[in-house]
Amino acid sequence: MTIIKRRTEGKYQVAVRPDVEIMVIPNVEWRRNALIFYKRLDDQTIEQLSGGLNKFKEGYQWYYADLWRQLALDGYEWTDYVPGSIDLGTAQTWYKIGSKFLPDDRVYDKLLFSHYAATRSLPDVEAHKILEAANEGEWTEKAIREAVKLLLGNPPKVPKPKIIQCAHCDNWIAETDKGCGWCFYTIAQQRIESFQAVLTELANPSGDLEWAVELANRALAEV
């Protein structure tokens, strides 16, 4: 087994290459940070990969992400193959990162999975710009996260509106200079009812036309 140690933030993260026994799987290529599949998965291959990856202690995130993505592409429910030792929420994060950064995009040889993960909130172009700089400057994961924060900026805080009681209808509303929505609704309903009464009177051949006109004028005055 080959163990590669990288120093980051005062401690080592260990990227473990698979054992030779695990690597010998037909139509599966093991790369430093990716699994490449040249044929649809079958039950035997899935069992070999699942059993082999369970032996890993560190450095397996890319491998799991690629296996799960291939399972999904081949029509399997990939979450059925998440081992009990990995939280489903964690697995879903790995899956998304593996899908965002496909094997051919993982070109930064000095960076680990966690470095890529730190840029997952960015569009692809911006993420690669930061990863390229991080690779050249040998940034820590923390440094990448700080760069992402600077790039995204601090979103403005939207103040919560003050809740007050309307002096006219006693309903609780957000304080605004646009008036009370409840009151507007009540007034609108009253005007609709007035217009309906006018139309009903005008449609009645035996109705009082003079009264209907007066009613219409009052309704219009309220608009």
Mean pLDDT lowest among 29-38, 52-61, 79-88: 52-61
State percent of the chain over pLDDT 90.
48
Query: Does residue 197 contact residue 215 with C-beta atoms inside 8 Å?
Result: yes
What SS3 state is found at 7?
strand
Residue 157 lies in a domain: no
Q: Is 130 inside a domain boundary? A: yes
* Distance between CA atoms of residues 4 and 59, nearest Å: 9
Residue 217 lies in a domain: yes
CB 122 within 8 A of CB 151: yes
**Residue 132 covered by a domain:** yes
Do 141 and 170 lie in a common domain?
Answer: no
User: Which residue type sits at 74?
Assistant: D
Q: Quick: pLDDT tens for 163-202.
A: 777 777 777 767 777 777 767 777 777 777 776 766 676 6
Which of 124, 152, 180 is at the close of a domain?
152
- The SS3 assignment for 137 reads helix
Q: For residue 146, is it within any domain?
A: yes
Question: How far is 75 from 67, CA to CA, in rounded Å?
Answer: 12
Flag the least confident range among 36-40, 115-119, 168-172, 196-200: 196-200
In this structure, the answer to whether residues 34 and 102 fall within a common structural domain is: yes
Least confidently predicted of 95-99, 138-142, 153-157: 153-157
Q: Quick one: 103 and 84 in the same domain?
A: yes
Structural domain span for residue 193: 163-222
Count how many domains the chain has.
2
* Alpha carbon distances (Å) from 174 to 88, 155, 157: 40, 23, 18
In a domain, 183, yes or no: yes
Same domain for 89 and 7, yes or no, is: yes
Tell me the CA distances in angstroms from 139 to 9, 112, 114, 117, one per residue in order: 9, 11, 12, 14
| pLDDT confidence band for 216 (50 / 70 / 90) | low
In a domain, 158, yes or no: no
Instruction: Copy the structure tokens of residue 222.
Output: 């309220």
This prediction's pTM: 0.61
Q: Kindly state whether residues 63 and 118 are assigned to the same domain.
A: yes
Closest by CA position to 13, among listed 118, 146, 98, 130: 118
> Last residue of some domain: 131, 152, 173?
152
51 and 125 share one domain: yes
